[in-house]
């Protein structure tokens, strides 16, 4: 690898001086695409001239070619992933709003059957993520993710045919299986193209697709229920699945052509941009190793104890935001009608989308993770306490804004942290992101049972559980910080030439 000046002590900045690197001699790009991600130790000329280094060895972008490359990535990758995630989440959560129509009556749901329909999706969703990301590193992401987008869109559309609990259960399970590859695959794709200073902000922008879907899902459902309920003999909730599924199919067609593949073989990058895209990520990776097989990547991930701390951190955080699947139900406790209830779910998510980008930007700018997570989690805990102790409408509305606004920005910071810390090889990074996301979403199997209708309107059990989950997430965050501080100290002592360190 091209030599880079050692990172300065914490709190100071330094410069990389006149780096000259060998150019890669890639003679058969098509062969690279068919086989594996090339991870050779190469760099374009003058990758970083007098680039400032922070305390963790992260470079600022001053090379016009690199700046132009990142802008091109932002214009192409992020919009496509965003619109895919918007419909991914919209299709998955159509059932949440369908409950406010005639879903329960039409399917004859009893007891906790609705909760089971929420949970079963995540059985298939969780089971498919790790093997999917292991495959993703060996195939063309554009075709792989585009194909699964088409599959979940068709599944969503055909859900309108469900006529009882059993058929809806089958549809929900298949929707989980077909949606499983997208989210961890998208995170891996972002991690292939963006540095540790860039990744949290890009993940936040990507994640606003979730926020916008959550925000507008209620408004879309309200319009469909008001305008199409009973048309052609179909209930409003059936039309909701038809419309959202059909629109998602259109998105899938575009994904095949717009999504990138690996940095060295993305068709809409020039050869020089491909090499630069590859090299800048290689130079940004702490304790970087050569690319390996998917099975070795799996082993590397499993035996690294930090993987499991991140899994605990992410699982408890996601467990604490189980309110997302029941927010319309929570808002309904304020006493409004169905249309108003659905409309009131919109503003908190809009504010959450803005806050997610702001938090991720400051986290990336200052290369800071722990305090961002801790402060947000403390605000969230305060938001959980309020509805547990009072049914006052104004107080509950304030609480909803508190815990919704600050919950979702943390996701991006955590996932960016995972990608940077466990990204020694592309294979390990792919497995780590999928494994942490799978274990995080395992919460969606059990948390729906914290929200039985009989506990309303206080839902004390759910709020107390959310507080406990958030507390564990904070503790695991600080455990990881202390571990990485010790690791950085050891790297500085044992490997004086090390230039890139772990961020915390």
Is pTM beyond 0.85 here? no
User: CA 309, CA 314: separation in Å to the nearest integer?
Assistant: 9
For the purposes of burial, counting CB atoms within 10 Å of the CB of 454, is it exposed (0-12), middle (13-18) or buried (19 or more)? exposed
- CB-CB contact of 504 with 485 (8 Å): yes
Whole-number Å distance between alpha carbons of 281 and 346: 37
What range does the domain containing 319 cover? Answer: 64-494
Is 424 contained in some domain? yes
Closest to 450 (Cα-Cα) out of 325, 268, 284: 325
Number of domains within the chain: 1
Instruction: Indicate whether 25 belongs to any domain.
Output: no
Q: Is residue 3 part of a domain?
A: no
Residue 420 lies in a domain: yes
Smallest CA-to-CA distance from 53 within 101, 3, 9, 98 is with 9
Q: Is residue 177 a part of any domain in this protein? A: yes
**Domain annotation covers residue 33:** no
Domain at 121, CATH number: 1.20.1250.20
Kindly give the confidence (pLDDT) of every residue in the chain, 504 residues in length, as a single tens digit, with 9 standing for 90 and above.
Answer: 333 333 343 334 344 333 334 333 333 333 333 333 333 343 434 444 445 555 555 566 667 888 899 999 999 999 999 999 999 999 988 898 888 888 888 999 888 898 889 888 888 888 888 888 888 878 889 999 999 999 999 999 999 999 999 999 999 999 999 999 998 899 889 988 998 788 878 888 998 888 888 778 888 998 999 889 889 999 999 999 999 999 999 999 999 999 998 888 888 899 999 999 988 888 776 656 565 677 888 888 999 999 999 999 999 999 998 887 677 777 877 777 777 777 787 888 888 889 988 998 888 888 899 999 999 999 999 999 998 888 888 888 899 899 988 988 788 899 889 988 988 788 888 889 889 988 998 888 788 888 887 887 788 999 999 999 999 999 999 999 999 999 888 888 887 777 678 888
- Is residue 152 in some structural domain? yes
Per-position DSSP letters for 22-77, written without gaps between them: PPP----HHHHHHH-----S---TTS-SS-EE-TT-PBPP--HHHHHHHHHHHHHH
Residue 181 domain-assigned? yes
Q: How far is CA 214 from CA 94, 264, 353, 443, in A?
A: 10, 35, 10, 19
User: Residue 87: CB partners within 8 Å, gap ≥ 6?
Assistant: 149, 153, 213, 244, 247, 248, 251
């Amino acid at each position: 690898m091209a030599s880079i000046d050692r990172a300065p002590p914490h709190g100071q900045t330094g410069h990389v001086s006149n780096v000259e690197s060998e150019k890669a001699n890639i003679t058969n790009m098509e062969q690279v695409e068919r086989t594996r991600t090339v991870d050779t130790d190469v760099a374009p000329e003058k990758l970083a001239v007098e680039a400032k280094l922070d305390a963790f060895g992260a470079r600022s972008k001053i090379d016009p070619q690199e700046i132009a490359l990142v802008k091109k990535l932002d214009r192409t990758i992020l919009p496509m992933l965003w619109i895919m995630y918007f419909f991914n989440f919209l299709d998955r959560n159509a059932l949440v709003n369908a409950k406010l129509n005639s879903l329960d009556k039409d399917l004859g749901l009893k007891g906790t059957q609705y909760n089971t329909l929420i949970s079963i999706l995540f059985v298939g969703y969780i089971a498919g993520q790790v093997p999917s990301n292991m495959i993703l590193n060996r195939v063309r992401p554009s075709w792989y993710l585009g194909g699964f987008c088409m599959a979940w869109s068709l599944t969503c559309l055909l859900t309108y045919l469900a006529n009882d609990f059993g058929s809806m259960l089958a549809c929900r399970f298949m929707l989980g299986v077909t949606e499983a590859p997208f989210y961890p695959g998208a995170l891996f794709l972002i991690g292939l193209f963006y540095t540790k200073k860039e990744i949290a902000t890009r993940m936040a922008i990507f994640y606003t697709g979730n926020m916008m879907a959550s925000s507008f899902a209620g408004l879309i459902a309200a319009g469909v229920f008001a305008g199409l309920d009973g048309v052609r003999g179909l209930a409003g909730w059936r039309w909701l699945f038809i419309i959202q599924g059909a629109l998602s199919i259109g998105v899938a067609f575009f994904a095949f052509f717009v999504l990138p593949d690996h940095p060295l073989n993305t068709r809409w990058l020039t050869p020089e941009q491909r090499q630069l895209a590859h090299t800048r990520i290689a130079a940004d990776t702490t304790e970087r190793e050569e690319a390996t097989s998917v099975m070795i990547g799996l082993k590397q991930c499993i035996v690294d104890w930090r993987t499991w701390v991140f899994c605990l951190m992410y699982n408890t955080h996601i467990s604490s935001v189980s309110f997302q699947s029941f927010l319309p139900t929570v808002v309904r406790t304020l006493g409004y009608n169905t249309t108003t209830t659905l409309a009131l779910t919109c503003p908190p998510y809009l504010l959450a989308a803005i806050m997610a980008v702001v938090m991720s930007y400051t986290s990336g700018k200052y290369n800071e993770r722990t305090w961002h997570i801790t402060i947000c989690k403390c605000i969230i805990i305060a938001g959980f306490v309020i509805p547990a102790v009072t049914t006052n409408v104004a107080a509950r509305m304030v609480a909803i804004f508190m815990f919704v606004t600050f919950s979702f920005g943390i996701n991006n910071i955590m996932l960016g942290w995972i990608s940077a810390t466990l990204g020694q090889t592309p294979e390990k990074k792919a497995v780590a992101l999928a494994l942490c996301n799978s274990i995080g979403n395992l919460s969606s199997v059990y948390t729906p049972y914290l929200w039985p209708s009989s506990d309303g309107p206080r839902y004390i059990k759910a709020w107390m559980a959310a507080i406990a989950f958030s507390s564990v997430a904070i503790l695991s965050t600080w455990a990881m910080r202390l571990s990485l501080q010790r690791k950085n100290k050891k790297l500085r002592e044992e490997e004086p030439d090390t230039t890139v360190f772990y961020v915390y």
